[in-house]
Amino acid sequence: MNAENYDLTRVFNEMSGWTFMQIALVILLCFLLYQLLRYTVPRVAEHLPARFRLLALNLIPLARLILFAVALVTITPMIFNVTLKNFVLVLGTVGVALGFAIKDWATSAVAGIVAIFERPYRSGDWIRIGDDYGEVIDIHTRSVKLRTADDDVVTIPHSRIWSENISNANDGSKTLMCIAEFLVAPDRSTAGIIDILTDVAHTSPYLDWSRPVKVIMHNEVYATRVRLKAYPFELRDQFNFATDLTTRGRDALINADIKIVSTPEFGTTPN
Amino acid sequence: MTTSLLPAELVPVDGYDWPRAPASSSLKDGYRRIWEKLRVLDDRNVDLLPDGLERLPESLIPDDLWSALRAHQYACLDRVYLDWARRKDGPNTVCAFVMMPSVPHGFLADWAADRELDLVDAAAVPTGKNALIVPDISSLVRRTLEGRAAMRAYLTELNDASRNVLLGVSSWTWTYLAQTSAIEAVVSDARCFAPFRDQDLAELIKTHMGEEVFKSAESGDDILPKDDSDEVNDPYLKTLAARAYGCPWAAIRLLDAAVKREVDGDGEDADGDRDGATDGATWLQDPASPQLPARFERISCFLLHALLIHGPLVAKDVAAVLPITIPVGLVAALGRIGLVDDEAGKVSIPQSAYPHVRRILAEAGLPLDQI
């Protein structure tokens, strides 16, 4: 009994007011440094050459991990008497209880660490998780934040990477494929469609010249679905680019006497 | 008078090797530009500069330097194209001569007129025996559906031409056409001037401005090699060559824009003792890089990009090639910072602004030219 008491008392270091102050200072310092980076890096990244922007943004989660590790390594010896025996003792006694209490948070936090190294998404990527599609604007310890095209911010826990497919449209590169779709009448010749739509893409100011432009057609019951695929040179232009391809593509097809299929008008039937 | 030490060949466009700035200069320059963009840094390093320096109201570059450079580059064209252009038999080929927008307007037209070669300024190939020179096809290229149809018809005509054809084309137009049309299948050979590096610029400056002592405001050192040594110690010229993308015209204009001299009438230099050699020196301090108008950066980039591909455009043509509404006053705002000229409604990029414009577009991530 005495031996057990002795071991337990040696698990913790003597805590004074100054120790608490030191711990608070370390936490505050790491927190402030992280907030400073979160505030500064995205603003500086906006002014960096485009090719360095995503790189700079991805420093934030890495910095958070490093600061967390620094805080942990600094604070732990202040509280605990760090020996292998004590480590096993603490893990055995509080590990299970703590595990149950913060299970979900811990799962997401571990998934967040995995996400930093496995990189299913990075800051600035355009990803789809479930029904949500948007730009990764922030990666926290527990969750990732997306900004959708409608300017909604969606917070998704990292733990979703264990169970769901993550679709990443650009995967760290500075461009992604955009698609404009057209439904044309299936009973007409399709001659000229590929050339017209390829020209539409080649005349867009948003186009990344170095990437291929493709036109794919697919027969469906009521129409031929035509998909124009091309890449903008800048991720953020994807919706402008798709709009430009769609509006000018539709006009060009109509001007070339290619019939765009639309749903029939279901008006009131004359008596 | 030219010197045989300058690059004399024309190089394939695909093999153009840009001069590189020393890594330390690039880092320093990048750091400075970020602070300038954040509107934190307004003035450049002035620690080493003597007092009383001012920018000169007139150009320091003598006319004979420009004439010599022109004569040298004409000789380069002669060596590659003149015999071929005067040939009346043999297989017919279409060649392209690709120029940076910093090369003076009408350069190829002047060369061809001087050699009495056939010139045509339209998308047509009239019959004839000698080679046909098309001085600049940029004005014939329009990034519209109609423009692409016209370009396809022109390429077909070039492909069936019964004479040699030399197309003069801007590097931006060439890259756009090469990536989005069949021009590389029609053109058998595309060349451009070889890049001028630091030694070449030093040679050019020494030959025509040998009496000047140029000092870098960054280091305080002489930018030209001492005595007859070919070794350039100061990184200024290396950086200059890189900033001009190897184009001597752009490099000399940038150097001219950086010139600062004492204007004190009595010639006394208050800080003359600091380095002991400032008397009569011409200091080179690069002016601050022009910044695009805040909140109109993106649209400005699109406009500058279109002007590089198509050359000078009137407002109607801008609207045709750029399906984005240009805000009222944007052209005037860009004109105030020297990035565009607006002459009688025709908007263009001044040759002296080209290095800045290319850098701005590169930083914004727009598709760039090949040279």
Interface contact A203-B305, CB threshold 8 A: no
Name the class of domain B297-364: mainly alpha
Q: What is the pLDDT of residues B263-312, one digit of tens each?
A: 655 544 444 444 444 557 888 888 888 889 988 999 999 999 999 999 99
Best A41, A46, A47, A204 member to test B by mutation, with max B CBs in 10 Å, is A47
CA dist list (Å): B117 to B84, B133, B134 = 11, 7, 10
Partners of residue B325 in chain A, C-beta under 8 Å: none
Q: Please name which of B276, B283, B272 lies closest in space to residue B214, comparing C-alpha atoms.
A: B283
Question: Is the minimum CB–CB distance between B144 and chain A shorter than 8 Å?
Answer: yes
- pLDDT by 10s per residue, chain A, length 271: 454 555 556 777 888 888 899 999 999 999 999 999 988 888 888 778 777 887 888 888 888 889 988 998 999 888 888 788 777 877 777 777 777 777 888 888 888 888 888 889 988 899 999 999 999 988 888 899 999 989 999 999 999 988 899 999 998 888 899 999 999 998 888 889 999 999 999 999 999 999 999 999 999 888 999 999 999 999 889 999 999 999 999 999 999 999 998 876 666 665 5
Question: Is the minimum CB–CB distance between B305 and chain A shorter than 8 Å?
Answer: yes
Best A39, A41, A46, A203 member to test B by mutation, with max B CBs in 10 Å, is A203
Q: What is the side-by-side order of every strand in the sheet holding A143-148?
A: A153-157, A143-148, A132-139, A126-129, A166-168
Nearest-angstrom CA–CA distance, B323 and B321: 6
Q: What six digits make up the tokens of B138?
A: 């940029």
Interface contact B34-A210, CB threshold 8 A: no
Which of B143, B181, B365 has the CB atom closest to A51's CB atom? B365
Contact (CB, 8 A) for A113 and A161: no
Q: Please name which of A85, A104, A161, A173 lies closest in space to residue A130, comparing C-alpha atoms.
A: A161
Nearest-angstrom CA–CA distance, A197 and A181: 11
Question: Is the minimum CB–CB distance between B363 and chain A shorter than 8 Å?
Answer: yes
Nearest-angstrom CA–CA distance, A132 and A146: 8
Distance from CA of A172 to the nearest CA of B (A): 15
Which of B175, B323, B363 has the CB atom closest to A244's CB atom? B323
Q: Torsions phi, psi of A178, nearest 5?
A: -115, 145
Which of A48, A196, A208 has the CB atom closest to B34's CB atom? A48
DSSP state of B222: B
Q: Torsions phi, psi of B161, nearest 5?
A: -65, 145
Distance from CA of B265 to the nearest CA of A (A): 43
3-state secondary structure A92-124: HHHHHHHHHHCHHHHHHHHHHHHHHHHCCCCCC
Partners of residue A207 in chain B, C-beta under 8 Å: 367
- Residue B293 region, left (φ>0) first, then alpha (ψ -120 to 50), else beta? beta
Contact (CB, 8 A) for A58 and A43: no
Question: Is the minimum CB–CB distance between B359 and chain A shorter than 8 Å?
Answer: no
Residue A172 one-letter amino acid = G
Question: Is the minimum CB–CB distance between B148 and chain A shorter than 8 Å?
Answer: yes
Interface contact B363-A49, CB threshold 8 A: yes
Best B40, B143, B173 member to test A by mutation, with max A CBs in 10 Å, is B143
Partners of residue A200 in chain B, C-beta under 8 Å: 145
The nearest alpha carbon in chain A to B172 belongs to A209
Helix (H) / strand (E) element for A9: namely helix A2-11
3-state secondary structure A192-256: CHHHHHHHHHHCCCCECCCCCCEEEEEECCCCEEEEEEECECCHHHHHHHHHHHHHHHHHHHHHC
* SS3 of residue B157 by DSSP: helix
Q: What six digits make up the tokens of A183?
A: 């439904």
Contact (CB, 8 A) for A110 and A126: no
- pLDDT by 10s per residue, chain B, length 371: 455 689 989 999 999 998 988 888 778 777 777 777 666 655 555 666 777 778 887 899 999 999 999 999 999 999 999 999 998 888 899 999 999 999 999 999 999 999 999 999 887 888 888 899 999 998 889 999 999 999 999 999 999 999 999 999 999 999 999 999 999 999 999 999 999 999 999 999 999 998 888 888 888 888 887 766 666 678 899 999 999 999 999 999 999 999 988 765 554 444 444 444 455 788 888 888 888 998 899 999 999 999 999 999 998 999 999 988 999 999 999 999 999 999 988 999 999 999 999 999 998 999 999 88
Question: Is the minimum CB–CB distance between B176 and chain A shorter than 8 Å?
Answer: yes
Ordered by where they begin, the domains of chain A are 2-101 (no CATH), 126-168 (2.30.30.60), 178-255 (3.30.70.100)
Question: Is the minimum CB–CB distance between B32 and chain A shorter than 8 Å?
Answer: no
Helix (H) / strand (E) element for B320: namely helix B315-321
A–B: how many Cβ contacts below 8 A? 58
Distance from CA of B50 to the nearest CA of A (A): 33
Nearest-angstrom CA–CA distance, A114 and A158: 9
CATH 1.10.10 residue spans of chain B: 297-364
Give the β-pairing of A126-129 and A166-168.
antiparallel
Interface contact A252-B306, CB threshold 8 A: no
Helix (H) / strand (E) element for B100: namely none
Question: Is the minimum CB–CB distance between B183 and chain A shorter than 8 Å?
Answer: no
CA dihedral B104→B109→B113→B116, nearest 10 degrees, is 140
The nearest alpha carbon in chain A to B320 belongs to A203
Half-sphere exposure of A237 (CA within 13 A, CB side): 23
End-to-end CA distance of chain A: 99
